[in-house]
Amino acid sequence: MQTDLRGRDMITTQEFTREEIDTIIDVAFDLKRKRALGESHAYLRDKVLAMLFFFSSTRTRVSFEAGMAQLGGHAQFIESRTTQIAHGDTAKEIGEIVGRYSDGIAIRHCDWGVGNEYIRGVAEASRVPVLNMQCEIYHPHQILADLITIIEKKGDPRGKTITVSWAYASSYSKPISVPQSLILLMTRYGMNVRLVHPPEFKLMPDIIDQAKENAKKHHSSFEIMDDFAAGIKDSDIVYAKSWGPLLTTTDPIEDKRLTDQYQDWITDERRMALAKADAIYMHPLPADRNIEVTDGVIDGPHSVVYDEAENRLHAQKAVMALTMR
């Protein structure tokens, strides 16, 4: 166990060693047990987390706020459009000033080509830890929760096959941060990762290169496929969700045209039957029901989406307790 995570920023899991991530996972399981037993774990009493949102949220806001309360501290909600951030506060100013008011800064900023740079700008100026609640490149706390869920449901992740697939959705063009963070972390835990998507929905080349290197270093495998059914066949974990064709186009009209070509990329019972009999279905939510995934799958026996959502709470509490204490 590593005991020196105080003050660390959590922007991507790639910046943490395996041993450090193991520590976060171990603490998350301990906090989950304490929560189940009703044991007090107010490790952050009198601490304040400033939560800055540029992008709307349900699970992220609720889980961070609840987590800080359970750790004995306070979470302060800040909406960018209703503050002076919308009128000129810079990343440096937010880091310098909010970092003096609070004990941690959490930011959700998913604008393409802007979010990650902004979060890193705040982190550079801040004297307190900066936590990435999601940017356009990474979603570290979601992926930590996903790893916890896989360990709970499937045991040792080494040698397990996870299908990280694109799926059709009609609601909006979603960030690529979830699939990118998945392929980065799961290859480090010895999993055989299949990245499945239509040709227009590629991920960032440097992320792909890092995933390949992770797989090589940790004796796992990483392959890219373009056939949804083939990608699911004999998989242990089916993690299928939508993301936008951001490396192909940022034009909304072209985005919709490309996306609508693949309306048959839905996770339905027929496709889930291609996976192993005890396979689990995962999704970070919200899902476009009966478009991205059928009710029969997301509410069916293979689905672990609610346990996965709960584990956001425990993963985030572990990160906060270790970095903000």
**pLDDT tens digits along 186-241:** 999 999 999 999 999 999 999 999 999 999 999 999 999 999 999 999 999 999 99
**pLDDT tens digits along 108-165:** 999 999 999 999 999 999 999 999 999 999 999 999 999 999 999 999 999 999 999 9
What pLDDT, on a 0 to 100 scale, did the predictor assign at position 227?
A: 97
Question: Prior bond to 286 cis, omega within 30?
Answer: yes
What pLDDT, on a 0 to 100 scale, did the predictor assign at position 321?
A: 98
pLDDT interval class at 1 (50, 70, 90): confident
The pair of three-digit structure tokens given for residue 207, joined into one six-digit string: 């992320």
What pLDDT, on a 0 to 100 scale, did the predictor assign at position 290?
A: 97
Quick one: 142-308 is in which CATH superfamily?
A: Aspartate/ornithine carbamoyltransferase (3.40.50.1370)
The domain locations on the chain are 13-139+311-324, 142-308
- Smallest Cα–Cα separation from 172: which of 249, 109, 242? 242
* DSSP-derived pairing of the beta strands 280-282 and 237-241: parallel
- Smallest Cα–Cα separation from 184: which of 153, 220, 229, 160? 220
pLDDT interval class at 172 (50, 70, 90): confident
What pLDDT, on a 0 to 100 scale, did the predictor assign at position 57?
A: 87
Q: Considering the entire predicted model, what is its pTM?
A: 0.96
- Smallest Cα–Cα separation from 175: which of 245, 254, 262, 106? 245
- Smallest Cα–Cα separation from 10: which of 146, 147, 126, 123? 123
**Residue 56 clears pLDDT 90, i.e. is over it:** no
Residue range 2-8: mean pLDDT, rounded: 94
The pair of three-digit structure tokens given for residue 239, joined into one six-digit string: 């993690």
Quick one: 13-139+311-324 is in which CATH superfamily?
A: Aspartate/ornithine carbamoyltransferase (3.40.50.1370)
**Residue 81 clears pLDDT 90, i.e. is over it:** no
**Residue 80 clears pLDDT 90, i.e. is over it:** no
Cα gap 127→277, rounded to integer Å: 50
Question: Cβ neighbours of residue 135 under 8 Å, at least 6 residues apart?
Answer: 11, 107, 108, 109, 110, 115, 116, 118, 119, 175, 177
What pLDDT, on a 0 to 100 scale, did the predictor assign at position 238?
A: 98
Question: Cβ neighbours of residue 286 under 8 Å, at least 6 residues apart?
Answer: 58
Residues comprising the chain, all counted: 325
